[in-house]
Structure 1
Amino acid sequence: MSSSSLAVKPARGTGARRGLGLDLLGSELSVLFRRRRTWAMLVAVALIPILLAVAVRLSSEALAPGEGPPFLDRVTQNGLFTGFTAMVVAIPLFLPLTIGVVAGDTIAGEAGQGTLRYLLVAPAGRVRLLLVKYIGAAAFSLVATLTLMLAGILIGVALFPVGPVTLLSGDVISVPESLLRSLLVASYVTVSLLGLSAIGLFISTLTDVPVGAMAATIVVSVVAQILDVLPQLSWLHPWLFSHYWLGFAELLSQPLDFTSFGANALVQAAYIAVFGALAYSRFATKDILS
């Protein structure tokens, strides 16, 4: 009788912890996506393909192949390329900027508002809180990339002809299959931003000033991209979290090539592991005064 009672208690405790974790995650996502700042950034991201498409539509000059950002010369031929072109334009600065704002605010924002201590008073635990904060940043990365791609497709359909897509390999695929490729590209870019999200989470544990954490995360992104173009540091390039950001062009060939996708995922996983551990090491020993 006593042994069965002891067996039940851990199960209840585990269920309670799981319930608490889900409640905390739901609360985090609710707060994140109810903020005006979050919606302002998503609107800004959606404006990138819209402005690009309108500019191309109003231009009287035909672009030569290879002129301007990749795929730009194909936009007038097929509106489905608007999303791909906008993604290339947004990756170096605009998407990392939004990720820097969200990831940099994860812990530092709570500390700056004086709510971090109250979050830890609940039996959530510091590890679970860090995990929930990171999942929130990762969720924003997914929503931002999907918003950009969807806006690109919609404005492309509205302003340009749409039909079977000619891939970089010269093969032609149907519109439904091209939409699937668009989803794969958005997934690729989402994965690309996960390492930066982990860096932002770590930086956020170092300060109680969210603006400082946001700025530092964005600066790290810029520095990594500068290092990635220096030929003298070619040995370092494969280890930079930004190295594979534009490698999604392989997803626009036939047959599908996931080489860059796999390499990118491995690099991002390494950054998540390293900076996640650093964030925990810092946060676990940090005196929470606010």
Structure 2
Amino acid sequence: MSQADASSLAEEREARLEGASRGTGIRFLGSEVTTLFRRRRTIALLAALAAVPVLIAIAVRVTEGPARGGDQGGPAFIGSIMQNGLFVALTALVVSIPAFLPLTVGVVAGDTIAGEASHGTLRYLLTAPIGRARLLVVKFLAALAFVVAAVLALVVVGAIVGAILFPVSRVTLLSGDEVGFWGFVGRALLMAAYAAVSLVGLTALGLFISTLTTVPVGAMAATIVLAVVVQVADSLSQLAWLHPYLFSHYWFGLGDFLRAPIVWDSLGQNALLQLGYLVVFGLLAYARLSTKDILS
């Protein structure tokens, strides 16, 4: 580690200790969120996600084939982009849910506790004192803030680049009804919220895994691999009995927000499932951290 990096790490630690020791949990949470979004890795992850809708829009614009995506089995909504640029946001969201979003969330969630132990700051945080339960809650909420930012990066950048490169008009929903610009914006935000809720279980799982090791790369890799394994299991008909209990099972329920009236069943089922994962892995993370000897 260079002298500059060491100095930066020391300043970061002092700022976070101050936020942890002074006043309420809100101050500590604000300190953690600020620290997370100031890291170059976080900025790079968000930039990579923002590049997804840009690449999709440019690819469609260059090929100029509105039917090509549908004819060749392209991602959902890609065949509609030439008629309405707002579909860039939806296509980017659908493309990113099974791969890019779990990858970035796995990196952030896997680093929550293991990263602190690796840098030698976990012991300092716990001696603030803030309590181990409070530390876990703040770490989870900070990771959840990244989830929201990641989803919004896809949707907002997708809508902007789509409006720049393609015409924007009334949107025909899957049910055949049409909505105006602001009606579609509301539905797009609901889809973004749905995607964020869908990643709560994976975030909680990554938090738990992060308490098991002091090697953040290992925790990140394990979280990402498990996300892939769960999705593979969700695609096997032989495991149909298990599907309703897998955190990825309702990830593609986004289409329900493109119907009139909106179908809320998937949102309720998904939220309940993600809450179950949050409770189970949150308790496991606390059980692990509360009995763990903190040496770094």
Q: Any gaps of 5 or more consecutive residues in structure 1?
A: 1-15
Identity in percent: 59
Q: Verify the 8 A CA contact 2:90 2:188 in the aligned structure 1.
A: yes
| Equivalent of residue 260 in structure 2, options 235, 241, 254 | 254
Query: Residue 91 and residue 163 in structure 1: after superposition, are their counterparts in 2 closer, same or farther (change >3 A)?
Result: same
2:283 corresponds to 1:277: yes
| Equivalent of residue 72 in structure 1, options 57, 67, 78 | 78
Within a 5 Å distance, the mapping from 1:205-284 to structure 2 comes to 205-284=211-290
Q: After alignment, is 20-29 or 63-72 more displaced?
A: 63-72
Q: How many residues align?
A: 275
Q: TM-score, normalised by structure 2?
A: 0.91
Larger Rg: 1
Aligned equivalents of 2:64, 2:142: Cα separation in 1: 43
2:170 corresponds to 1:164: yes
Within a 5 Å distance, the mapping from 1:178-197 to structure 2 comes to 178-197=184-203
2:181 corresponds to 1:175: yes
Aligned equivalents of 1:120, 1:199: Cα separation in 2: 22
Deviation string 1:95-148 (CA, Å, 9 cap, x unpaired) is 001000100000000000000000000120000000000000111000100111
Q: TM-score, normalised by structure 1?
A: 0.93
Within a 5 Å distance, the mapping from 1:1-290 to structure 2 comes to 19-63=23-67, 65=70, 67-290=73-296
- One-letter identity of the residue aligned with 1:41: L
Q: Which 4+ stretches in 1 moved above 6 angstroms?
A: none
- Secondary structure (helix, strand or coil) at the match of 1:69 reads coil
Aligned equivalents of 2:117, 2:24: Cα separation in 1: 21
| CA shift for structure 1 position 197 | 0.2
| CA shift for structure 1 position 17 | 8.9
- One-letter identity of the residue aligned with 2:62: L
Aligned equivalents of 1:97, 1:68: Cα separation in 2: 21
- One-letter identity of the residue aligned with 2:30: G
Deviation string 1:254-276 (CA, Å, 9 cap, x unpaired) is 00111101110000000000000
| CA shift for structure 1 position 18 | 9.4
How large is the RMSD of aligned CA atoms in angstroms? 1.3
Q: Verify the 8 A CA contact 2:234 2:246 in the aligned structure 1.
A: yes
